[in-house]
Amino acid sequence: MMTSDAMELGNDAPGAPEVSLATPSSARRNVLDLDDFSAEEIASVLDDTSAMVEVLRRDIKKVPTLRGRVVVTMFYESSTRTRISFEEAGKVLSADVINMSSSGSSVDKGESLLNTGLTLQAMGVDVVVIRHPHSGAPYLLARELPQVSVVNAGDGLHAHPTQALLDLYTMREKLGNLQGARVVIVGDVLHSRVARSDLWGLTRMGANVVLSGPTTLMPLDLLGGRNELDEEHPFAQVEVDTDLDRAIEGADVVMALRLQSERQQGGFLPSLREYIRRWQVTEDRLARARTGALVMHPGPMNEGVEISTALAHGGSSVIEEQVTNGVAVRMALLYRLCAGRGNRMGDGK
């Protein structure tokens, strides 16, 4: 199968997509990636998100919806916005949110991910939000912890579904419709879990995706490698154009990805200066896009590398709105996962 081969990056993807945890959308238990979301389910999450945005705009932003539910955020990798965003989302919905990080917990004493997960399950935790440097880690928890809902907050190079959903929401709010929108994703797509999840979401919603950046940083494996993708494959229509000036022509959205400095040592780039010259998203380049095109970035930004400072804080930028919408999207997901389920500690005994 094309997808599972393509998704395995060789270095650290322990077969994540092989485990099919797809559940009917009405009874979703986990959010691991967007590959098992239908267009209808994505649309209904985005609809719920607008209701959550209204709650966040209130003077007193608190609703009692998830009273008595426990959400644990387990972050094995550093994060500011994703972690705070999940914490805020849970708290606005009145869930109890407990933060766990690898340092200062039993992870320091060598406890395995699975045992940590089993401990949380035994404590009656309802939702585990996990970020982990290894691709597939959330799939392991989802498979082994039947009484817990698992949300992937970023796993290795594999997926970051909640970021992709907030990107989709931001685009839909601004453009009205994603069908037929031209979305250019620029930079280190190869090492970007955000871009991978965005690809699933955008193609499901009928957007035309163009990837641009140095050939060494294009996920050619994902797009079939040397073989042509089957026409039916969701990524079959994804374009790759290493010439950003050409790719950006007529774009509705330009999304710059973070260039991780380690990549330069990894031999992926000739030099930072050349990268900046050819692939930095600048005002001059944006002038080639459609008037009113959106500038997006999943953060954290290296201003002056993948995006010019003027553009990052300019009128076309929706980067701050992405962050605000992130809280609302995560509220919509927590609501979805917690509704329709009784207290599992009381069940089954």
Partner 1 sequence: MTTTGSERQQRQIMDAQEMQRSLSRIAHEILEKNRGVGDLVLVGIHTRGVILSQRLGDNIQRFEGSRAPLAELDINLYRDDLQARESPRVRPTKFPVDVQGKNVVLVDDVLFTGRTIRAALDALSDLGRPRQVQLAILVDRGHRELPIRADYVGKNVPTSLNEEVKVRLSETDGSEDVIIVNLGRQIK
Q: Enumerate residues 306-345 that contact partner 1 by CB under 8 A.
A: 332, 335-336, 338-343
**Contact flag: residue 52 with partner 1 (CB under 8 A):** yes
- Please report whether residue 93 would count as binding partner 1 according to CB under 8 A: yes
For residue 242, CA distances in Å to 3, 186, 259, 287 come to 23, 9, 16, 18
Helices and strands, number each (H, E), in the chain: 13, 9
Look-up: residue for tokens 């406890």?
111
Q: How many residues bind partner 1 (CB under 8 A)?
A: 27
Q: Is residue 26 part of the contact set for partner 1 (CB under 8 A)?
A: yes
Q: Is the peptide bond before 146 cis (omega within 30 degrees of 0)?
A: no
Which listed range, 42-50, 97-105, 192-200, 270-278, lies at the site for partner 1 (CB under 8 A)?
42-50
Selected binder of partner 1 within 63, 220, 236, 276 (CB under 8 A): 63
Q: How many CB atoms lie within 10 A of CB 51?
A: 13
Among 4, 65, 105, 216, binds partner 1 (CB under 8 A): 65
CA–CA distance from 271 to each of 109, 131, 191, 268, 285 (Å)? 41, 31, 18, 9, 20
Minimum distance from CB of 49 to partner 1 (Å)? 9
Helices 319-338, 161-175: crossing angle, 10 deg rounding: 120
When asked if residue 237 is in the footprint of partner 1 (CB under 8 A), the reply is: no
Nearer to partner 1, 147 or 216 (CB): 147
Give yes or no for residue 54 binding partner 1 (CB under 8 A). yes
The residues that bridge with 185 in the sheet, in sequence order, are: 211, 255
The residue (of 41 and 221) whose beta carbon lies closer to partner 1 is 41
Widest CA span in the chain: 65
**Cβ of residue 148: shortest distance to partner 1, in angstroms?**
16
3-state percent helix, strand, coil for the chain, nearest multiple of 5: 40, 15, 45
Task: Report in angstroms the alpha-carbon separations of 19 from 15, 94, 195, 235.
Answer: 8, 32, 21, 20
Q: Tell me which residues in 164-223 interact with partner 1 (CB under 8 A).
A: none
Q: Three-class SS string for 277-318? A: HHHCECHHHHCCCCCCCEEECCCCCCECCCECHHHHCCCCEC
Between 102 and 325, CB nearer to partner 1 = 325
List the one residue from 2, 39, 55, 240 that touches partner 1 (CB under 8 A).
Answer: 55
Q: Which stretch, 51-59, 165-173, 212-220, 232-240, contacts partner 1 (CB under 8 A)? A: 51-59
Interacting residue with partner 1 among 5, 18, 40, 47 (CB under 8 A)? 47
Q: Which is nearer to partner 1, 191 or 336 (CB)?
A: 336
Among 58, 179, 261, 284, binds partner 1 (CB under 8 A): 58
User: How far does CA 191 lie from the centroid of its chain?
Assistant: 13
Tokens representing residue 92 in the block: 């606005």
Measured from the CB atom, the residue of 10 and 342 that comes closer to partner 1 is 342
Tokens of 320: 């701050």
Q: Determine, following the binding rule CB under 8 A, whether residue 22 of this chain makes contact with partner 1.
A: no
Q: Rounded to whole angstroms, how far apart are CA atoms 162 and 192?
A: 14
The residue range among 6-14, 41-49, 175-183, 188-196 that interacts with partner 1, by the rule CB under 8 A, is: 41-49
Among 59-67, 151-159, 229-237, 255-263, the segment contacting partner 1 (CB under 8 A): 59-67
Contact, 307 vs 280, CB < 8 A?
Answer: yes
C-beta of 55 vs 114, nearer to partner 1: 55
Contacts to partner 1 by CB under 8 A: 26-27, 44, 47-48, 50-55, 58, 60, 62-65, 93, 332, 335-336, 338-343
